[in-house]
Amino acid sequence: MQTLDKYLELFQQNKKQIGQDDRPYMRTLRESAIESFRQSGFPHRKEEAYKYIHLEPVFDGELSFDFQPRNIHYDDADIFRCDVPMLDSIVLTVLNGFYHHPGEEALTTLDNGVIYGGLKAAMTQYPELVEKHLGRNAPTDGEPFVALNTAFSQDGVFLFVPRGVSMEKPVQIINLLLSDKNQMVQHRNLFVLESQATAQVIICDHTLSPHLFLTNSVSEVYTGENADLDLLRLQNEHNNSCQVTNTWIRQEQDSRCQHGTITLHGGIVRNNLRIKLEGEGAESSALGLFLCDKMQHVDSYTVIDHSQPRCISNQYYKGVMDDSSTGAFNGKIHVHRDAQKTEAFQTNNNILLTDTAKMHTKPRLEIYADDVKCSHGATVGQLDEEALFYLQSRGIPKDESRLMLMDAFTWDVISKIKQASLQERITDLVSKRLRGELSRCNNCAMHCED
């Protein structure tokens, strides 16, 4: 049986359980999504967007699927410590793709109108609000992994910030994978900021057992007029994992959004990012930093869509590859005919620490307006030998000199993280990772092999 048929059959066999609490619009959305997936199938290397990665063999592996939360008994204090424990944040946990809230309400509604908690609960308690946005920002046609997620996803995190409200604390979403068997999970997040709302969201991805995990997640984001969102993802999974993230952001007039992805660990990682600047004067910033070694592969695909005048976007991606690891950056800026006065800039810089590490980079501009400021550029190279020699001539050992140069290289991205305490902690994590002191077991008490 082909991989495509395997998932089509899986959906038909389990669709009653998958959508047992669905309202009509959700049932329609799932049926439309599985049809889109049937038509597109899994992408192959001949497709430009997936030229450097072939994911179908991973999806064809021996995996188990859960369509309701498993009753797993664990004490997270015993097996897990957060990478950024100093944050004074609202912590939401997703365990194997389902919102985890033992002994607590699945959804919290504050006096100021802010709503956060499980997406499944939000579908029941606020159906009109969810229906207005779910599936509206992340289309399924031509997007097989979004389509697959839309057909199968049952839960995740929902965040709603009403007009004019600024959240005092960041929301920290901790995605945990813990199982006694190889498993696939597909959770979905929906973040909605109405006009003039402000929020900060931090997503942390962790594996807590050594089994093979395949994650296909979707995060849909809507920022209303003059809203401000800071969204940061910290990936730290083991070498036996494969993570596909799909983040779709739609911005209205004069809104601001910074999206960042820091990849510390992961066997195979594919991060898809789509930002649609649909309101005049919107500003967007996309940051990426990945560190990989051994046989790891980190693949970043971005599309920044300028469709209105006077919008600004900045992309800044960096990678450090060691051993026989590989990386890829495929980024596109699309400026439509009416998007005059656009300012769009894209930079991708990479360091190879060995002769066997490889990096593929492809920055792209597609411009149909004539009054714009746009640029793109990419570099792949080694550490600066002259700088290395200078540091050694000052009595600094070679290994320490290399680390100093790599710290300086990564700081260009880390320094753009807005919250000081988070910036400080990520600086420490990256430094540990570069020194080889940070494994995926760093904050896990199970100490499984990589």
- pLDDT value at position 157? 98
What is the per-residue pLDDT across 216-243, written as a single tens digit (0 to 9) for each? 999 999 999 999 999 999 999 999 999 9
Residue with the larger pLDDT of the pair 448 and 44:
44
Q: Measuring CA to CA, how many Å separate 170 from each of 111, 156, 222, 231, 311?
A: 17, 17, 17, 10, 26
Give the pairing type, strands 107-109 and 98-100: unpaired
Q: What pLDDT score was predicted for residue 75?
A: 62
Question: Distance of CA 16 to CAs 8, 11, 22, 89, Å?
Answer: 14, 9, 9, 37
Residue 83 has pLDDT above 70, yes or no: no
- Whether residue 185 contacts residue 156, with contact meaning beta carbons closer than 8 Å, is answered with no
Whole-angstrom Cα distance, residue 399 to residue 435? 9
Backbone phi, psi, residue 242, to 5°: -135, 125
User: Does the pLDDT at position 449 exceed 50?
Assistant: no
> How high is the pLDDT of residue 85?
62
250-260 pLDDT tens trace: 999 999 999 99
412: pLDDT strictly greater than 50: yes
In whole angstroms, give the CA distance from residue 202 to residue 262.
11
Mean pLDDT of 383-406: 91
pLDDT at 87: 72
pLDDT of residue 8: 97
Is residue 182 within 8 Å of 63, Cβ to Cβ? yes
Residue 119 pLDDT more than 70?
A: yes
Structure tokens at 431: 């430094």
DSSP secondary-structure letter at 141? T
Query: Residue 290 — φ and ψ, nearest 5°?
Result: -135, 145
In this predicted model, what pLDDT tens digit does every residue of 139-174 receive, in sequence order?
999 999 999 999 999 999 999 999 999 999 999 999
Read off the pLDDT of each residue in 405-421 and give the average, rounded to a whole number. Answer: 89
What is the value of pTM for the model shown? 0.94
- Whether 148 contacts 180, CB under 8 Å: no
What is the per-residue pLDDT across 51-77, written as a single tens digit (0 to 9) for each? Answer: 999 999 999 999 999 999 887 766 665
In the predicted structure, residue 421 carries a pLDDT above the cut 90: no
What does the alpha-carbon distance between residue 205 and residue 86 come to, in Å, rounded to a whole number? 17
- Phi, psi dihedrals of residue 434, rounded to the nearest 5°: -65, -30
Give the DSSP H or E segment for 319.
strand 312-321
Any idea which residue has 């599309």 for tokens?
303
Closest CA to 327 of 302, 295, 355: 295
Angle (CA) 177-231-191 rounded to 5° is 80
Query: What pLDDT, on the 0 to 100 scale, is given for residue 429?
Result: 83
**DSSP code per residue over 103-167:** TS-SEEE-TTS-EEEEHHHHHHHSHHHHHHHTTTSS--TT-HHHHHHHHH---EEEEEE-TT-B-
Position 445 scores a pLDDT of 42
- pLDDT for 437 equals 64
Residue 373: what are its φ and ψ, rounded to 5°? -120, 110
pLDDT one-digit tens code per residue, 302-342 = 999 999 999 999 999 999 999 999 999 999 999 999 999 99
Taking residues 206-213, report their average pLDDT. Answer: 90
pLDDT digits (tens, 9 = 90+) for 266-301: 999 999 999 999 999 999 999 999 999 999 999 999
- Residues 194, 229 contacting (CB under 8 angstroms): no
What is the spatial distance between Cα 40 and Cα 58, in angstroms, rounded to a whole number?
A: 18
The answer on pLDDT for 391 being more than 70 is: yes
Q: Mean pLDDT for the chain?
A: 92
Residue 352 has pLDDT above 70, yes or no: yes
The pLDDT of residue 5 is 96
Two tokens at 315?
């992309």
